[in-house]
A = this chain, B = another copy of it.
Amino acid sequence: MALAAEVRKATPSRHTIRTYNLCFLGFGNVNRTLVELLLEREAELRDRYGIAFRIAGIASRRLGWIADPNGLDFRGAVDLKGHDFSRAANRPQNSPALAGSVKDWLSAARGNVLFEATSLNVETGQPAIDHIRAALNNGAHAITANKGPIVHAYRELRDLAAARGPRFLFESTVMDGVPIFSLFDQLPAIHLHGFHGILNSTTNVILGEMENGLTFDEALKKAQALGIAETDAAHDIDGWDAAAKTAALITVLMDVPIKLDQIEREGIRNLSAEAVRAARKEDRPYKLVCRAKKEDNKVTASVRPEQIPLADPMAKISGSSSYIYFETDIFPGLAITEENPGLYATAYGMLADFIRAVVP
């Protein structure tokens, strides 16, 4: 390493600062981390992008909702993680199903942006679809980390957003916040013929820990302790999460709507620790691989454990890292690797969507 150059100041501040009321629906890890990230980046958002914001609403099915169009106070005494919503003055007593009241909540908060981070419903995509509809119909940008609405209602929500004006963005649904969908916005007139990759962290961590000698149950517990697997990890283990991501990529990037039952799906539940260790020993480790191929205007897709030769970059994707390889007419192989995503990766995708939505 040789001579050095000085770093100049970042782009000077814009003169117009616009303030947005932000509403958070589902208040688990993703949205809590997003609030932390927003507060941490508050000065940069203002100085670089002319964006100011208020945390105007927080809601979850379990906790009910709170809203204040002038901004809830999360900077002072209120501990975000320990906050007890049940004491919120405007929480409906015995609140009805939240979906029905999302419109009221957004109106009460005068929300400009909805961050939808409820959990995946593989069967119907609900109630997240209704949440997004309510936001778009209320004039609020809808940003989701939930794959359900993409799998079950992508075209309707895309068209609704186009008709109503606000944006519908979902960069955090696949590979945390790595801008996969936005990348393809930057690949105009390209044709995606196929892709394969490793898109589910929980199963990748479990397979690695089984290779290291743990049983399936021990490995699952370790993934849960690391905060990677949910308490109910069935969606991951049985391949539903990976299948939903595969379907989202096909639906958006190949412009082909596909149902989850059209994707061949096999999880890792039936792999014994012995088989996993033997596969690693013979240098052909098991990975839960997502594949899609478009041929003669038909798409075929699968999610299943495959033994990967060491020469394939997928064999080296360990822990919570992920990987995708796109086959296109211009780039025969264009691959993206996300190594050891940080705590903020998924939340960052929603922050980036927010900036995309409001900065021209």
Contacts and interface: CB of A to CB of B under 8 A. Distances in A.
Interface of A: 1-8, 10-11, 41, 44-45, 48-49, 177-179, 182-183, 185-190, 250, 254-259, 261-264, 291, 293-294, 297-302, 311, 313, 316, 321, 329-342, 344-345, 348, 351-352, 355-356, 359
A227 to B, nearest CB: 16
Contacts of A263: 2-3
Nearest to A302: B1
A298 B262 CA distance: 52
Contacts of A183: 179, 182-183, 186
A258 B5 CA distance: 6
A285 to B, nearest CB: 14
A342 B356 contact: no
26 contacts: A1-B264, A1-B300, A2-B301, A3-B262, A3-B264, A4-B298, A4-B300, A5-B250, A5-B262, A5-B299, A6-B297, A6-B298, A7-B299, A179-B183, A179-B186, A179-B187, A186-B186, A186-B356, A188-B359, A189-B352, A321-B333, A330-B342, A332-B340, A333-B338, A334-B336, A335-B336
A325 to B, nearest CB: 8
B337 A333 contact: yes
B337 A256 contact: no
Which of A45, A340, A342 has the most chain B CB within a 10 Å cutoff?
A342
B294 A7 contact: yes
Contact of A298 (B5, B49, B355): B5
Nearest to A340: B332
Nearest to A327: B339
A331 B335 contact: no
Shortest 3 CB-CB distances between A and B: which pairs? A333-B339, A2-B264, A1-B300
A340 to B, nearest CB: 5
Given A186-B186, A331-B339, 17 more contacts: A1-B302, A5-B262, A7-B297, A8-B255, A10-B255, A179-B187, A182-B183, A186-B356, A188-B359, A313-B313, A313-B337, A330-B342, A332-B339, A333-B337, A333-B340, A334-B336, A334-B337
A177 B344 contact: no
Contacts of A338: 331, 333-334
Contacts of A331: 177-178, 338-339, 341-342, 345
Contacts of A302: 1-2
B185 A186 contact: yes
Contacts of A3: 261-264, 300
